[in-house]
Amino acid sequence: MQNLDQKEMQKMQNIDELETVLYAGNLLLSSGAEIYRAEETMHRIADAMHIKDMDAYVTNRGIFASGNVPGKGIESRIMSVPDKELNIDKIEAVNELSREVCSNRMDLLYLKTSLQNIANMGEQNVAEKILSYFLGAGCFSYAIGTSFRDSLCAAIIGSLVGFYMICSKYRIKSRVLITIIASVLTAVLSHFCVAIGLGSKLSFIIIGAMMDLVPGVAFVNSVREFSQNNFATGQTLLTSALLTCVSMASGVALVEQLVSGTIMTPSVIYDIPEISYIVLIIRSLAAGLGTIAFALMFRVRKRHFVDCGVLGTITWFAYMICIRIWNNEAIAVFVSGFAAVLASRVLAVLRRCPATVFLMTSLIPLLPGISLYRTIYYLLMGSAQISMHFGKLCFLTAFTIAVSIAVVQQIPRNWTIPVRKQKE
Q: Would you give the DSSP letter of residue 228?
A: T
What pLDDT is attached to residue 219? Answer: 76
What average pLDDT score do residues 38-66 get? 90
pLDDT at 199 over 70: yes
Residues 83-127: tens digit of each pLDDT: 778 899 999 999 999 988 887 766 788 888 999 999 998 888 899
Question: Residue 304: CB partners within 8 Å, gap ≥ 6?
Answer: 295, 351, 353, 357, 358
What average pLDDT score do residues 44-68 get? 90
Closest-CA residue to 300 (of 12, 87, 63):
87
What pLDDT is attached to residue 419? Answer: 47
What pLDDT is attached to residue 171? Answer: 86
Q: Torsion over CA of 387, 389, 392 and 398, rounded to 10 degrees?
A: -80
Q: What whole-number distance in Å separates Cα of residue 180 and Cα of residue 71? A: 53
11 vs 123, more confident? 123
- Categorize the per-residue pLDDT at 128 as very low, low, confident or very high, splitting at 50, 70 and 90: very high
Q: Would you give the DSSP letter of residue 403?
A: H
Question: Residue 372: CB partners within 8 Å, gap ≥ 6?
Answer: 241, 242, 245, 390, 391, 394
What pLDDT is attached to residue 273? Answer: 56
- Share of residues in the chain with pLDDT > 70 (%): 90
Whether the CB-CB separation of 193 and 157 falls below 8 Å is answered with yes
Closest-CA residue to 181 (of 241, 252, 128):
252
What pLDDT is attached to residue 266? Answer: 64
- Categorize the per-residue pLDDT at 3 as very low, low, confident or very high, splitting at 50, 70 and 90: very low
Helix (H, G, I), strand (E, B) or coil at 15: coil
pLDDT at 409 over 90: no
H-only helix segments in 211-276: 216-227, 231-259
62-69 vs 73-80, strand pairing mode: antiparallel
Whether the CB-CB separation of 237 and 169 falls below 8 Å is answered with no
Residues 250-298: tens digit of each pLDDT: 999 999 888 876 667 665 554 555 678 898 999 999 999 999 999 999 9
Q: What whole-number distance in Å separates Cα of residue 370 and Cα of residue 359? A: 19
What pLDDT is attached to residue 299? Answer: 93
Closest-CA residue to 34 (of 221, 218, 220):
221
Count of alpha carbons within 13 angstroms of residue 86, beta-carbon side: 19
H-only helix segments in 260-383: 277-297, 305-326, 329-350, 356-362, 369-380
Q: What whole-number distance in Å separates Cα of residue 417 and Cα of residue 407? A: 17
168 vs 218, more confident? 168
Q: What whole-number distance in Å separates Cα of residue 212 and Cα of residue 41? A: 31
What pLDDT is attached to residue 232? Answer: 79
What average pLDDT score do residues 312-318 get? 94
Q: What whole-number distance in Å separates Cα of residue 106 and Cα of residue 365? A: 41
Residues 166-197: tens digit of each pLDDT: 999 888 888 899 999 999 999 999 999 999 99
- Categorize the per-residue pLDDT at 229 as very low, low, confident or very high, splitting at 50, 70 and 90: confident
Count of alpha carbons within 13 angstroms of residue 57, beta-carbon side: 5
- pTM for this entry: 0.89
pLDDT at 422 over 90: no
Q: What whole-number distance in Å separates Cα of residue 57 and Cα of residue 297? A: 30
What pLDDT is attached to residue 369? Answer: 77
Q: What whole-number distance in Å separates Cα of residue 362 and Cα of residue 352? A: 18
What pLDDT is attached to residue 257? Answer: 86
The mean predicted confidence, pLDDT, of the chain is: 86
pLDDT at 25 over 60: yes
Q: What whole-number distance in Å separates Cα of residue 381 and Cα of residue 368? A: 20
- Start-to-end Cα distance in the chain: 42
Tell me which of 40-44, 319-323, 391-395 is least confident: 391-395
**Count of residues making up the chain:** 424
Q: Would you give the DSSP letter of residue 268?
A: -
Count of alpha carbons within 13 angstroms of residue 21, beta-carbon side: 32
